[in-house]
Structure 1
């Protein structure tokens, strides 16, 4: 009788609160906040409040990040930020340098008591008359150990995958392979390929995430992947018409896998704390003066700085091809506070009037600009989605994480990008020479009409997916109804 009354009371509560626990690096945080805004504003309104539990790794600047996050949600009173205390006795930094995925997994496990305390405080502030109920946790895939915390509080856990549906296929494959074979992958295996679920083509081992070739990181990847089936659902930042084969595979719920919701593309329009509006205006004014589709954009993400010797080769390639260019150079601000300092002597004089060099760049606004004709990219998934959304051709130059798999996906699986490199790894220290870069840029900017026509179709499909009645709009509704 008592339980029946509770059940009826829960059914009567029409609005829900979700608790998000993202991974605290820019690409993941920005996508999480944009997803939160989309859920909050979805019609009809069913999500009343979203609480983001923010945490930080010891080597990330905490104060700047918190003020930046607050600025992103200041217009959304129903999204609130709660900062967790520092983790006592974090794993040694030596582990991060050697095997970053293993470090992150161990760090998240040490967060369990802090998350328990935060959830206990949040839930104890509710009473039975409250019309809003906490309906679940939404966890970044790096945070899957926190599924145990959700279970303890009888809250379902959902995974938000800031990567592709193809990446999810790899995560589905890893535990299956591990049960049969166990050792980490061998990089010396040459052209060996593997049958990853959701891919039409066999996937070359050499395009798997670099961490899978080191024992400690490999074990962390497998441990994370093994937790995915425990989630109540998986939200994927992609859309059906882009990765149809991968989503078709998961639609059949293989091995009782949780439902997969294609809710993208989520575009991250503001990706810098302490935004310098004068720099943004300088870049956009310069683009306004350039002919349509005439500028090649070079940008390689926010986490890695290219070596000075690699910067020199890119500069030489720019001089060789003679195309208009916009080049975002992310450097260590302590070593090179001004991006011009790292350029070869006389470079800017030799390309006078041809291009612009900057540190930070407003990437979404740049890719949406009519002057951009091509993008030389590190193939982070956010960057790929932004480029596809505006129909800009990509030349692939992956650097780290899952970017090699992303490059393979958009070149070989989807036929939407130009292959420059598929298996390049920044940490290996290889320098890509100017002639190779120049050749890729020429092919990118001269362009194939067929590829550009296909990109235009995908751009329109990306736009329609998130509109009322589109495939991603419907997927968000299914997710909310399921709560």
Structure 2
């Protein structure tokens, strides 16, 4: 039996690593010919990766191993930490290339190693394509965002490199609309992700898009029925790699939880069990999501005004501006919430820290999700059939929000064009008023809305896609066969 070894190189971010672990498990369980080594980069500061990796290791099936890439030496760490954030990240990934090459050599020299079938690299680790080239094997990309965002990246690159158009960043303060392939509606410039709104960050994304085109294929965490328009647009792009739609890739085990979160989870579920069906609005803003005290006050006032039952994941912002540190839990919510809020809402609401998101969204009492629209959270909400209210914060979340509201009709617009201020420039976050938030919550929790019925339909379609004969099931099979065929072709030459 032909055996293929795949080398996964995920980006060192919680959302990316969780999603990568899940797609690796899916591939290994689907085909016994596949073995996978996931190489773990460790950032030179606490990013939550170490605890997450330990949980993933405990859950991993046979034929998946996790290998820690050695820490950088002190001098290199000091040098990198002095760089601006984007330069730091690019340089950090570059410094992993030699250790990755050495680790792969060691894996292939092992007695149980199969034939090297290729590298599966994260969208932010495209410099690893050169390592794959050195081993003379294909480089595949696992794209943790959606197909529409990938289409936007390629569109931006094409504009700036082939059509001599002015940079999109120059249009950031206009009311212009863009005819982006993969979208049914013209895309307003105001909902473009922040990375397209400055020359430096836009150049970073264009450089990634250019390298993505070098991959043999891109595995996208999406579903044909969810993003057919975008997937078709990518297929029509003659310079784009082959696209495999392999989603929804979802972590159902709360692998991101720390050990001390288990009792908290039991308490949350116990509270939800006491609530009527579809009565609770869940507010949660991702692993990096947090707000200023002023914004917290507006959210609290909105919840009181709405009279809605709520479960609110409230996190403390990191005070270290130069590092992408995760928010932490408050020890005492009264230090940030309005005086008397907890007492006044004790009968209908619950404020929590870390949230077991999939478990909560799966609960029958949850009827709506106020979300930052991260792609993992979006897919989780669709899987559970919970309609969303969009409140994007960073990354590609604004374009996800536009897609959910305008393209798919499975979310309501709370503040689709919101974006956090630039911490490094001491730029304050804009404030969403209590009135705006209350209006969004009331619209979201309308039990007879078209948004709710469309979300239920999309839930059914996405679940069917993963079943035998479904669109994602078939696409994953095509990728696995391509990996094995490549090895067999290499053996016959």
* Pair in the same fold by TM > 0.5: yes
Please tell me whether residue 14 in structure 1 is matched to residue 9 in structure 2: no
Please tell me whether residue 132 in structure 1 is matched to residue 117 in structure 2: no
Which of 19, 25, 29 pairs up with 2:13? 25
Alignment check: 8 A CA contact 1:46 1:480 kept: no
1:349 matched residue in structure 2: 343
Alignment check: 8 A CA contact 2:369 2:388 kept: yes
SS in 1 for 2:213: helix
Segments of structure 2 that go 5 or more residues without pairing to the other structure are: 318-326, 422-427, 484-493
Of 391-400 and 201-210, deviating more is 201-210
SS in 2 for 1:18: strand
1:46 matched residue in structure 2: 33
Segments of structure 1 that go 5 or more residues without pairing to the other structure are: 1-12
1:363 matched residue in structure 2: 357
Shift of 1:21: 0.6
1:5 matched residue in structure 2: none
Alignment check: 8 A CA contact 2:277 2:365 kept: yes
Structure 2 distance, partners of 1:237, 1:188, is 28
Which of 139, 146, 159 pairs up with 1:157? 139
Tell me the alpha carbon deviations over residues 284-314 of structure 1, each in whole angstroms, 9 at most, x when there is no partner: 1111111111000000111132111111110
- Return closer, same or farther for 1:308/1:131 CA change in 2, 3 Å cut-off: closer
Aligned length: 460
Equivalences for residues 109-258 of structure 1 within 5 A: 109-125=94-110, 132-179=114-161, 180-181=164-165, 183=167, 185-186=169-170, 188-252=172-236, 254-258=237-241
SS in 1 for 2:315: coil
SS in 2 for 1:186: helix
Structure 1 distance, partners of 2:185, 2:309, is 36
Shift of 1:102: 4.0
Tell me the alpha carbon deviations over residues 345-394 of structure 1, each in whole angstroms, 9 at most, x when there is no partner: 11101112111110011100111111011111000011111111111110
Alignment check: 8 A CA contact 2:367 2:445 kept: yes
Please tell me whether residue 415 in structure 1 is matched to residue 400 in structure 2: no
- Return closer, same or farther for 1:343/1:189 CA change in 2, 3 Å cut-off: closer
Alignment check: 8 A CA contact 1:340 1:357 kept: no
Structure 2 distance, partners of 1:350, 1:108, is 49
1:443 matched residue in structure 2: 443
- Return closer, same or farther for 1:183/1:450 CA change in 2, 3 Å cut-off: closer
SS in 1 for 2:394: coil
1:56 matched residue in structure 2: 42
1:401 matched residue in structure 2: 395
2:380 matched residue in structure 1: 386
Structure 2 distance, partners of 1:366, 1:214, is 37
TM-score (norm 1): 0.91
1:7 matched residue in structure 2: none
Alignment check: 8 A CA contact 1:95 1:103 kept: yes
Tell me the alpha carbon deviations over residues 127-169 of structure 1, each in whole angstroms, 9 at most, x when there is no partner: xxx6721201111100011101100111211110110010110
Alignment check: 8 A CA contact 1:104 1:142 kept: no
Across the aligned residues of Structure 1 and Structure 2, the Cα RMSD in angstroms comes to 1.9
Shift of 1:334: 7.0
Alignment check: 8 A CA contact 1:22 1:140 kept: yes
SS in 1 for 2:124: helix
SS in 2 for 1:279: helix
Structure 2 distance, partners of 1:221, 1:36, is 25
Shift of 1:170: 0.9
Alignment check: 8 A CA contact 1:102 1:220 kept: no
2:490 matched residue in structure 1: none
Please tell me whether residue 86 in structure 1 is matched to residue 71 in structure 2: yes
Of 467-476 and 188-197, deviating more is 188-197
Please tell me whether residue 72 in structure 1 is matched to residue 56 in structure 2: yes
- Return closer, same or farther for 1:322/1:335 CA change in 2, 3 Å cut-off: closer
Shift of 1:190: 1.8
Alignment check: 8 A CA contact 2:37 2:67 kept: yes
Please tell me whether residue 304 in structure 1 is matched to residue 283 in structure 2: no
Tell me the alpha carbon deviations over residues 199-235 of structure 1, each in whole angstroms, 9 at most, x when there is no partner: 1111112212212222222211111110111101101
